[in-house]
Amino acid sequence: MYQFYRNSKDDAAIINSLGKIRGSIQRYVKLILVKDESLDVTEVERTVNELISQYENDNIPFLESIKTTWSNIKELSDKYLKDSNHSNRQLLINESEKIWETSENLVRSKQYSSENDMVYLLLPVAFLTLEFFVGIGLLYIVKKYVYDNLESITLYDLLTDVYSRRYFFELLKGEISKAQRKEYMFSVIMFDIDHFKKVNDTYGHDKGDYVLKTIADIVKSSIRKADALSRIGGEEFTILLPDTNIDKATALAERVRRSVEDYKFDVVGRATISLGVTEFKADDSSDTLFKRVDEAMYLAKNSGRNCVKVNSGGVQ
């Protein structure tokens, strides 16, 4: 039983290690897309290379796939910097999405492995006790333990305890389906922590994690219970707002922005966020709606940061 518990903890550690690599690669792609000369892309690239090198000896599944994707991302980044057209931008975004697919594959593989470990664990117990119903009881307890832990890893971000990127898209698809069946409106906010890399570089990753968790707590206290806060990237979050039009969503985004701006963080001092807002349109898919709110957020960052921008079809 102890070995089984230890394997489950090891699985969580491996998933967390992959999350660090994934977050750094997403940050690199974001910096390339923003094309802000004041941001040090080279430093982020070095961090990704160091993380991959660090975990090469840890037997992390799918690491070779990540290395291949990372190489492709760097090639596409060079191409995008030379010619920043929509096609090159989309190729770079699509390649970066493979990192999230790899993470989901890892979670699924660990779930399958844990289920097999559970079966092998219970066989000797059943034979030794010769108690069929005791064996069934143990099967239920251990299976529930496995599913509860792996479901938590799948649904929630391990650091901030808000919803994960994967679960955000499940919720988004559900809202779109609901809106298409009846007259129903919902909105989405996406926000990014301004100059977050500077926080990590100046105060260390522990303080960076503290800022991420604190901002997540501030936002959770500013939204309704029905609203869903998710962490979708290194320092990027979304808020799914059911039964909310774009005017109400914009007002909420501004309240959230002020709440973060007014908070005094230990050691770090002040932090700000840039927010984009959009609402559902009748012909929307998950991809089109996400792309629209993503564009609004990047407009906010390119407009001086610490502001709210709306994209209702034509960016405002």
Q: How many angstroms separate the CA atoms of 51 and 219, rounded?
A: 30
The sign one gets for the Cα dihedral 73, 32, 24, 223 is negative
For tokens 């059911």, name the residue. Answer: 242
Annotated catalytic residue 235 = yes
- The answer to whether 299 and 311 are in contact (CB under 8 A) is yes
Distance CA 237, CA 51 (A): 23
Say which residue the tokens 């999230």 belong to.
Answer: 100
Angstrom distance (rounded) from CA 177 to CA 78 = 38
HEC letters along the chain? CHHHHHHHHHHHHHHHHHHHHHHHHHHHHHHHHHCCCCCCHHHHHHHHHHHHHHHHHHCCCCHHHHHHHHHHHHHHHHHHHHCCCHHHHHHHHHHHHHHHHHHHHHHHHHHHHHHHHHHHHHHHHHHHHCCHHHHHHHHHHHHHHHHHHHHHHHHECCCCCCECHHHHHHHHHHHHHHHHHCCCCCEEEEEEECCHHHHHHHHCHHHHHHHHHHHHHHHHCCCCCCCEEEECCCCEEEEEECCCCHHHHHHHHHHHHHHHHHCCECCCECCCEEEEEEECCCCCCHHHHHHHHHHHHHHHHHCCCCCEEEECCCEC
- DSSP lists the bridge partners of residue 229 as 239
Find the catalytic residue in 235, 236, 261, 295.
235
Positions marked active-site: 235
